[in-house]
Structure 1
């Protein structure tokens, strides 16, 4: 005979996290410990899941449930640790879990249970569309409380969930639970709108321009929404600035001296405007490069024409010098 009260008082199963919440696709650990009389030896352990079968609540061993094969791992031992890990969590994994152990004398199962909640992360950007300079808040939600969450933008870590938006902050954001970054929420997009930035001008013809030649000036900028207006200005030697065109490309099909000056492009959208740096166009009456080339060729031609004359003249001088030397030799005989 044995005292049932003393037996029950000597054994226990304790769940450290009886109500865990984990993200679908991640893993969860049930931290568990158990005790029993020192004189007993544990022979067998098992984890069970509670299920309704034909209207009756039953405990089914995880080893008998096909979906848990290769996903559940017993982390404990046959002494006092009964922790369990379930990987790649699915919606069907939510529910009640129980632990049982058998000693060489008795079989005992936990009276209490672990209730697992499986949730999905939902990322939110508030607001989704902002102007540069506005405050943005990132929120990572779930159906139950989670541990620390972290944020990423286009795959790169985000230091703070609250920030002042700039143009470069536009992109796709997603959140994850710290330590389980491989399981991520669906991405959400932040749209940052701003007036034109980095306005620049590209000139189709490099260097000096000659009267009658053509040149195109193309204006580009970064803007959201895209720039819908471009205005061109020219500043000559005086302080006056003249509007000389509109549109993204300024076409000058036949330039003259009056086209010389500093050109500026102004890019504009509904949020504002910005100017490019000045670009200098210089128009000359003669193509200086062509002139230099012709001069160079002329010098070479003159040199080649005069070279034979110099050679003939030098040869004659040498011949005359030789003749004079021979005449002196005959007189001394």
Structure 2
């Protein structure tokens, strides 16, 4: 008896380091009516074979904390799905989440010689909705923006999207391209997004440029200079400046987004730039060269017209001369080609007959 007792005492038990259960996310959160997955793995010594796996729900009964098999709880019938195996995967999915699913969950597995249950638990939170907030919702470029996703979960793991594209960090320094609509979702349930909220990043005018509507400018023609820029809010003030060859300074010559020259003159030649302004700042375009040919276009048109008339008169004159010569040649040809005969008078004919 004593020998058997000593043998029992000296027999080594299971090595705890070889037996383990690991939860990838120990604090999952799910939307009511959706599904949530508990990703789980377990290990055991080589040579053991798993004979049974079970998930339990923790709860109080008779003022004592106990674990209840999900398979024996009526409220989980047809809603809990074990998607693991009897190797090392112990993952579980709970469908159609309800408010009372919030709580602690445990995993247990048995081998032919030993049973092991998780020391830690998975705490599931169920929330009815999620809401997105951008703080603040209107900023200047360079300001700090914080994205906040509101849920009733204790430790929610959330992901963010901007106009449908993932956002790397929930806090960042706002840039011009960060304007847009933001929405959040619980990690693992990205198909269910919160209502979107807008972020408006304001900035002074950028990329100011001048568009010129002309080909080759000559005196008397027209041209428009149009100032374009990107800004938020849009630029509300435009000023035009000109630099001439005789002056190194810029002189204000107009205002408004479009500066028009209905009839340019040689004096309009010079370098022009546009200055765009909004409440946040100001920026200038590059200088654009406007060159006006000194040739008077009206005088040029007059000369062209006179030339055309001279050509027409010459052509008409040549046509008349050609027609006259052609007529003369036709008359000569008719005289040369007439019948040959002698003009003999009747008197001469009578004398000829008496001689016979």
Matched, 1:144 2:152: no
Alignment TM-score, normalising by the size of structure 1 = 0.60
Contact 2:268–2:292 at 8 Å: present in 1 too?
yes
Deviation by residue 1:10-69 (Cα, 9 ceiling, x = unmatched)? 8x995322971224355332334689x97x994x76534345699997736357556774
Q: Give the equivalent residue in structure 2 for 1:331.
A: none
Give 3-state SS (helix, strand or coil) of 1:83's partner: coil
| CA distance in 2 between partners of 1:183 and 1:285 (Å) | 70
Q: Give the equivalent residue in structure 2 for 1:238.
A: 246
Q: 1:260: how far off?
A: 1.6
| CA distance in 2 between partners of 1:138 and 1:289 (Å) | 68
Match of 1:84 among 79, 82, 91: 91
User: 5+ residue gaps in structure 2?
Assistant: 1-7, 337-356
Contact 1:195–1:224 at 8 Å: present in 2 too?
yes
Alignment TM-score, normalising by the size of structure 2 = 0.57
| CA distance in 2 between partners of 1:265 and 1:214 (Å) | 19
| CA distance in 1 between partners of 2:24 and 2:174 (Å) | 41
| CA distance in 1 between partners of 2:30 and 2:163 (Å) | 22
Match of 1:114 among 109, 116, 121: 121
Contact 2:54–2:69 at 8 Å: present in 1 too?
no
Map 1:65-76 to 2 at 5 A: 65=74, 69=78, 72-76=80-84
Q: Give the equivalent residue in structure 2 for 1:229.
A: 237
Which shifted more, 166-175 or 114-123? Answer: 114-123
Q: Give the equivalent residue in structure 2 for 1:154.
A: 163
Distance verdict in 2 for CA 1:65–1:302, change over 3 Å: farther
User: 5+ residue gaps in structure 1?
Assistant: 329-333
| CA distance in 2 between partners of 1:67 and 1:200 (Å) | 66
Which shifted more, 183-192 or 318-327? Answer: 318-327
Q: Give the equivalent residue in structure 2 for 1:220.
A: 228
Matched, 1:16 2:27: no
Match of 1:97 among 105, 126, 131: 105
**Higher strand content, 1 or 2:** 1
Q: Give the equivalent residue in structure 2 for 1:193.
A: 202
| CA distance in 2 between partners of 1:128 and 1:57 (Å) | 47
Q: 1:95: how far off?
A: 1.3
| CA distance in 2 between partners of 1:244 and 1:41 (Å) | 89
RMSD over aligned CA atoms reads 5.8
Q: Give the equivalent residue in structure 2 for 1:30.
A: 40
Give 3-state SS (helix, strand or coil) of 2:209's partner: strand
Give 3-state SS (helix, strand or coil) of 2:304's partner: helix
Give 3-state SS (helix, strand or coil) of 1:16's partner: strand
| CA distance in 1 between partners of 2:298 and 2:258 (Å) | 27
Q: Work out the number of aligned pairs and report it.
A: 315
| CA distance in 2 between partners of 1:258 and 1:41 (Å) | 97
Distance verdict in 2 for CA 1:206–1:87, change over 3 Å: farther
Give 3-state SS (helix, strand or coil) of 1:168's partner: helix
Match of 1:265 among 274, 277, 291: 274
